[in-house]
């Protein structure tokens, strides 16, 4: 990967700024990191890439957690509604 600081690389290789496939939130985070990295004169490009991968993992973990919480919330809501219906059917 060339060291042009103005270029944002999207690829399926590990040396890219953003690895394909990616979500909208991953793109936004990677662009924010890149912008912050460009503004810091003393930042190391390899550190930026490493941090991008760590935050992408956190985003993916959070998405999984969010889906699980939504499923549990829906299940809880269904149980409450079932209980209320059973109460009023007596």
Q: For 43-57, what is each residue's pLDDT tens digit? A: 455 555 555 555 556
Coil, strand or helix at 11: strand
55 close to 29: Cβ distance less than 8 angstroms: yes
- Which two tokens mark 68? 């699980």
Q: How far is CA 10 from CA 18, 31, 57, 68, in A?
A: 5, 11, 17, 30
Above 70 in pLDDT, residue 77? Answer: yes
Alpha carbons within 13 angstroms on the beta-carbon side of residue 47 total: 7
pTM for the model: 0.39
Measured distance CA(36)–CA(5) in Å, rounded: 12
């Amino acid at each position: 990967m060339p060291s042009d600081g103005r270029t944002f690389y999207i690829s399926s290789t590990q040396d890219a700024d953003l690895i394909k496939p990616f979500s909208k939130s991953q793109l936004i985070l990677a662009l924010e990191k890149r912008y912050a990295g460009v503004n810091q004169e003393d930042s190391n490009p390899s550190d930026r890439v490493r941090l991008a991968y760590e935050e992408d993992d956190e985003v993916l973990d959070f998405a999984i957690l969010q889906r699980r919480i939504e499923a549990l919330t829906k299940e809880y809501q269904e149980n409450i509604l079932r209980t209320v219906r059973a109460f009023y059917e007596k």
